[in-house]
Amino acid sequence: MSKLRKIILPESEIPRQWYNIQADMPTPLLPPLHPATKQPVGPADLAPLFPMDLIMQEVSKERWVDIPEEVLDIYKKWRPTPMFRAYDFEKMLDAPVKIYYKYEGTSPSGSHKPNTAVPQAYYNKKAGIKRLTTETGAGQWGSALSYACQHFGLELEVYMVKISYLQKPYRKIMMNTWGAEVIASPSDRTEAGRKILAADPNSNGSLGIAISEAVERAVMREDTNYSLGSVLNHVLMHQTIVGLEAVKQMEMAGDFPDVVIAPFGGGSNFAGLALPFLHQKLVNGKKVKLLASEPASCPKLTKGEFRYDFGDTVGMTPLMPMFTLGHNFMPPALHAGGLRYHGGSPIISQLMRDDLVHAEAIQQLECFKAGVMFAKAEAILPAPEATHAIASVIRQAEEAKQEGKERVILFNLCGHGHFDLQAYEDYFAGKLQDHYFTDEQLYANLKELEDIAIPA
């Protein structure tokens, strides 16, 4: 029998509902707190930033949530996405593993981000909003939301982390093509940006700073809302379309993964692939390990503390219960820009505490080495973020070899690296280095945070 490389789900089989893990979490989420009063926030507190449909999804405990027809129709431009069996990579690793990967790089903007950009733009349009603001790190999120806003006739203002703005000029052109305005952050357009620039005129920016700027602009105008590309519950839920497709595709392949791996920035692509498999574990008793792969230079899950912290640098967002390095954390100028966020999503953080998901941190040189190996074997040039998952796959393969037992691995190839070639050039030129995150750094950051008790 000839090898089946692609596992293709027909368009007619596209999932019509998202999966909401909040229905099945053994420990319910702690509530977000108001940044000033420190009291739990209610839906009304979030109304200046988000449309009510998204706020209700944020707190919903309904297990299955219908995907609106208008959203499904756009999803079908690139979904269902393919799953591949990585035969050549398996051969290269020479270990007793079967490796499958879900490829989200086939979306118009090149990653999983449009899976939530499209519904977010849709619900804002439906609520009568005219304009959105957002931040972007590597440019993947800004690109995805630019297209989604273009489709639904919304204006968009994107605050792009300055280091990425300089490293990835073509991401900016892509956003401009879809009609968005892109501003390097920190900027002098906002109070938050001016404050950061006054303290450090050469600031590289960070996701936390860009979020502060975008939130400030959104609260200023009645017709403007804010949109976030990761971390929040509704964002993770939108991304579950990835894993719901993957569960069906694994079934088509006649396999079930022993381990599911994805890179971890704020948690959305990891959650998107992993949570439908966690559902299989919690509800159907399947055995599967869920492994998040994060950069050693921004190791929120493996080195951070679980506590209440702000989502942004300046402290304008609600306080969220999450593993964090501190909202004042300034990550090094790492090429995996999409992973440079100080905190992990509340849902994944709580599941970590409950020992239902696991994490490991990997240095950037190991990641690029893995990415280049993968490109040589499977032909797809991965986004620097995605190379973290590939490095974890290689570690799993080595473990399986030592154990002498077959392991079935599924990972999320969450984006291609076609706008990240500068990173590869720097890697080939020997200009990249590993970054070490010290405990002193962590304690200094955390000491500045307000101590808000976490119920036992």
Ligand X SMILES: *Cc1c(COP(=O)(O)O)cnc(C)c1O
Residue ranges that bind ligand X, judged by CB under 6 A: 111, 113, 138, 140-141, 230, 263-270, 338-339, 383, 385-386, 414-415
Q: Smallest distance, Å, CB 414 to ligand X?
A: 4
Among the listed residues 356, 364, 401, 407, the one whose alpha carbon sits nearest the alpha carbon of residue 386: 364
- Using the minimum distance from each CB to ligand X, give the nearer residue, 141 or 178: 141
| Minimum CB distance to ligand X, residue 64 (Å) | 22
d(CA 219, CA 212): 11
Minimum Å gap between C-beta 135 and ligand X is 11
Question: Given the complex with ligand X, which of 74 and 235 has the nearer CB atom?
Answer: 235
Q: Nearest approach, Cβ of 268 to ligand X (angstroms)?
A: 3
C-beta neighbour count of 454 within 10 angstroms: 12
- Closest distance to ligand X from the beta carbon of 230 (Å): 3
Specify the residue, 263 or 299, whose C-beta has the smaller distance to ligand X. Answer: 263
Alpha-carbon distance values, 64 to 21, 261, 285, 297, 362 (Å): 9, 24, 19, 36, 34
Minimum CB–partner distance for residue 405 and ligand X (Å): 30
Nearer to ligand X, 261 or 400 (CB): 261
Which lies closer to ligand X via its Cβ, residue 32 or residue 272?
272
Angle between helix 114-126 and helix 140-152 axes, rounded to 10 deg: 40
* Residue among 95 and 320 whose Cβ is closer to ligand X: 320
The residue among 90 and 311 lying less far from ligand X, judged by its C-beta, is 311
Q: To 5 degrees, how large is the angle CA 433–CA 437–CA 439?
A: 160
Residue count (the chain)? 456
Shortest Å, Cβ 172 to ligand X: 15
CB of 139 to ligand X, least distance (A): 8
Q: How far is the CB of 348 from ligand X (least distance, A)?
A: 9
Which residue number, 20 or 140, has a Cβ lying nearer to ligand X? Answer: 140
Nearest approach in angstroms of CB 380 to ligand X is: 12
- Closest CB to ligand X among residues 124, 269: 269
Return left, alpha or beta for 130; rule: phi > 0 is left, psi -120 to 50 is alpha, else beta: alpha
Q: How far is the CB of 294 from ligand X (least distance, A)?
A: 9
CB nearer ligand X, residue 65 or residue 274: 274
Position of minimal CB gap to ligand X: 265
Residue (103 or 270) nearer to ligand X, CB? 270
In angstroms, what CA-CA distances link 422 with 122, 163, 166, 168, 409?
34, 12, 11, 8, 30
Cα distance between residue 100 and residue 253, in whole Å: 10
